[in-house]
Amino acid sequence: MEVYDEAFVRRFLAPWNAHDADGAVALMTDDCVWEITRGSEPHGTLADGSQAKFHACDVRDGKISAKRSYRKVVE
């Protein structure tokens, strides 16, 4: 399995930060699955206070083929 580094992430985030939809789509496969969370709470820390980190993308041929992020809702 190929590992993609911080440079890959920065290249993927650049068009999003520039509000360049065409540039962002160009970095995804034609059959990309895009699932994201909603809401105002990031739920980005674990019970011990450490920051949560996740691998939430599948990459195929150097492009994002699936981007999934989920979080548990605490009531």
Average pLDDT across each block of 10 residues of the chain; the chain has 75 residues. List them in order. 74 91 92 74 71 72 80 54
**What is the number of other CB atoms lying within 10 angstroms of the CB of residue 8?**
16
Which uninterrupted H or E stretch holds 32? strand 28-35
In a domain, 74, yes or no: no
Q: Is residue 75 part of a domain?
A: no
pLDDT for the residue numbered 64: 84
For residue 73, tell me if it sits in a domain: no
- pTM for the full predicted model: 0.57
Residue 17 lies in a domain: yes
Our count of domains for the chain comes to: 1
Residue 15's pLDDT is what?
93
The pLDDT value given to residue 19: 95
**Using CA atoms, how far apart are residues 52 and 27, in angstroms rounded to an integer?**
25
